[in-house]
Structure 1
Amino acid sequence: MKIIYQLTGALSLVFGLIGAFVPLLPTTCFVLLAAWCFARSSPAFYRRMRGSVLLGGIIGSWEQHRRIPAPAVRIAILSMLVSATVSLMLLPGLLLKAVLVILLLAGCVMVYRLRQTGAPLP
């Protein structure tokens, strides 16, 4: 299991770092997943993430208060809306479009309901 956690954590961290630069790829959720995986598989790497200037704030805010920065929520919802809009234009069939809209609404509600901090993104 340790290797699976490490691989998942590494992949999530890579996606999270890419997401800092690519608008449609979320950063916060991948960083939190990576921290969770490394906390179970590599305590030393987890400590390095927690001590990082760029990642430590996101992880610390979630672990201490179960909150994420409000700008991260807005970016996540906007990213979902943009990617769903593009997908709706490309998907054939009304049923697939309806399923996408239902999943989009569920995702937006779930992200919006997360407790938020007023802190800016690092």
Structure 2
Amino acid sequence: MAQLGNKGKVLFLKGTGIFFVGLAMIGVVLPILPTTPFLLVAAACFAKSSPRLQQRLLANKTFGPLIHDWQKHRSIPKRAKRIALLTMVLSVCWSAFMLKNVLLTALVVVLIAGPFIFLWRLPESR
């Protein structure tokens, strides 16, 4: 990225931020994709490339407060945390039901364990 120059870097970060906002929008509809982490990545990209897009993201009624809480306190709302953890558990259960294979189910559990523990340990806000 050092060879891109400042203008290329800004364009790359804007594009990456827009890509992650798109993933977050898909995550709103699909319970398997997490919305909040994608928005946090987008906010970080926009903070370094586009103050206007960052402000638009932070001004969003639904997602703005989540991003503010994360940026200021490194915490997420209790309700969002519970929903995310429950969704992860239900996804693992659904995967086990659909896969009907102990090794593949174990792989799903191993892959979800890290993010689950990370989320479990995060402090809760409000």
TM class by smaller structure: 0.7 to 0.9
- Partners in 1 of 2:101 and 2:29 — Cα distance? 33
1:111 alignment partner AA: L
Percent identical residues:
36
Trace 1:1-122 onto structure 2 (pairs within 5 A). Answer: 1-91=9-99, 93-118=101-126
Q: Which moved more, 1:66-75 or 1:8-17?
A: 8-17
The root-mean-square deviation of aligned C-alpha atoms, in Å, is 2.0
How far the C-alpha of 1:117 sits from its partner, in A, is 0.7
CA 1:82–1:4 in structure 2 vs 1: closer, same or farther (change >3 Å)? Answer: farther
- Partners in 2 of 1:49 and 1:107 — Cα distance? 24
- Partners in 2 of 1:102 and 1:22 — Cα distance? 21
2:84 alignment partner AA: A
- Partners in 2 of 1:60 and 1:37 — Cα distance? 15
Deviations 1:83-114 (A, max 9, x none): 22222233364333222212222221111111
How far the C-alpha of 1:35 sits from its partner, in A, is 0.5
- Partners in 1 of 2:21 and 2:124 — Cα distance? 22
Greater relative contact order: 1 or 2 (C-alpha under 8 angstroms, separation 6 or more)? 1
- Partners in 2 of 1:105 and 1:80 — Cα distance? 9
- Partners in 2 of 1:55 and 1:104 — Cα distance? 24
Bigger Rg, which one = 2
- Partners in 2 of 1:101 and 1:55 — Cα distance? 29
Task: Check whether the contact 1:25–1:79 (CA below 8 A) recurs between aligned residues.
Answer: no
How far the C-alpha of 1:17 sits from its partner, in A, is 2.9
Q: Which ranges of structure 1 fall in alignment gaps of 5 or more residues?
A: none
- Look up the SS of the partner of 2:19 in the other structure: helix
- Partners in 2 of 1:85 and 1:3 — Cα distance? 41
